[in-house]
Amino acid sequence: MSRSFVLPDLGEGVHEAEVLAVHVAAGQQVKEGDLILDIETDKAAVEIPSPFTGKVVQVLVKAGDLAKVGDAMIVFENGGEVGAAKQSTPVFPSVAAAEKKQMSPAPVAGKLSGTAPAAPATRRLARELGVDLQQVTPTGAGGLVTAEDVRAFAATGKEIVAPPPVTGTPAVIESFSVPAPVLPDFAQWGVIERRPFRSIRRATARQMVTAWSQIPHVTSQDTVDITRLEAFRQKHKEEIKAAGGRLTLTVFAMKAAATALKVYPMFNSSLDLAAQEIVVKKYFNIGVAVDTEDGLIVPVLRDVDRKSIRELAIELHKCVQRTRSRKVGLEELQGGTFTITNAGAMGGGFFTPIINYPQVAILGFGHGRMQPAAVLMDDGRYEIVPRLLMPVVLCFDHRVVDGADSIRFMKVVIEALQDPEELLMSMI
């Protein structure tokens, strides 16, 4: 008899993954928790530990393969004589996303037969608390038993009940999509190269289509005088570097955005069409778009409002390094409430960013350039002087906020960035 390890539902809309490396071979003995696979999901590389202790009977995938959720990947001996591969209930690997509580959990009715799907950390917790996972009703995505389920069962002796699905107005909006026309044979005009459209590029495309088709985008733009802020940054960048960080404009932008989000919380929300409600988040987790060799990735820094400029400069620098080396975890890509994208590092000017669905706004910055500006002097006269001016754009969901709201929001951000003292004084 044998059991197959299948690609589990990793949450966050992940339906497939590319196999980066296979760390086991047929005939090899492994223990539960041993590394067996490296896979690449939407925007993250993930290490997959073995869900079983035993012998590897057959490896069904190789590096470069694209596997879909539910596909068998490795067959394990499960005691007794090994016969034809028989797929068992999927066992989920230890990825942070699997244990993340979903906003709208999909409960699975009744008990699960066979091995209850749970991450290794959850299994260890169950052993420590003396809980039989087979007796726990899962509330996680795809029927996953979560750590919360185990703790609740241990405390009460019975399962927690997942919230019922929201009823009311359906979230589905009729879509008038037009099929893509058949492409011509480009090779008839010259040499071509075909590259796989997968991984980050494909995930980005899917997210962009979702955002653009679901959200009525409106853009508000302005310029901000960062002359004083740049002087402040130059003054303190070496001490931040010595502490292991990097004092960039994005760090200041995150603090300014967090202040504006507290003053105008509707920009820190999501629209729940199914419930006909606007979900306003009371936490401030800001995603930062990072340009990598593999495409755009948006890691999330949590509780930005509670952290100092120094703390953010260090955390952001380390996060960007992990992201570009593909060592960022799935949990670091989730839970964002607002996004910042800075095209200025590459010399970009004004542009129109696409909102990171299901958020309702994104703040973008261009390259600061020295330009002539009319400045009010102490004696009441205006003089034309050189100032460092930077483009700033705010793209927002017009269903949730209006143009007047965006102007007020931008004013808070601009005033904070124009004057370092104002930035420090406005932090709430």
Alpha-carbon distance of 261 to 244, in angstroms, equals 28
Best CA proximity match to 327, nearest among 284, 355, 292: 292
Catalytic, out of 15, 23, 367, 398: 398
Question: What's the first-to-final CA gap in the chain, in angstroms?
Answer: 61
> What angle in degrees, to the nearest 10, is found between the helix axes of 403-418 and 249-263?
130
Clarify whether 217 is annotated catalytic: no
323: left (phi over 0), alpha (psi -120 to 50) or beta: alpha
Contact 239, 247 (CB under 8 A): no
420's CB contacts (< 8 A; 6+ apart) are: 228, 229, 232, 252
**What residues are annotated to the active site?**
398
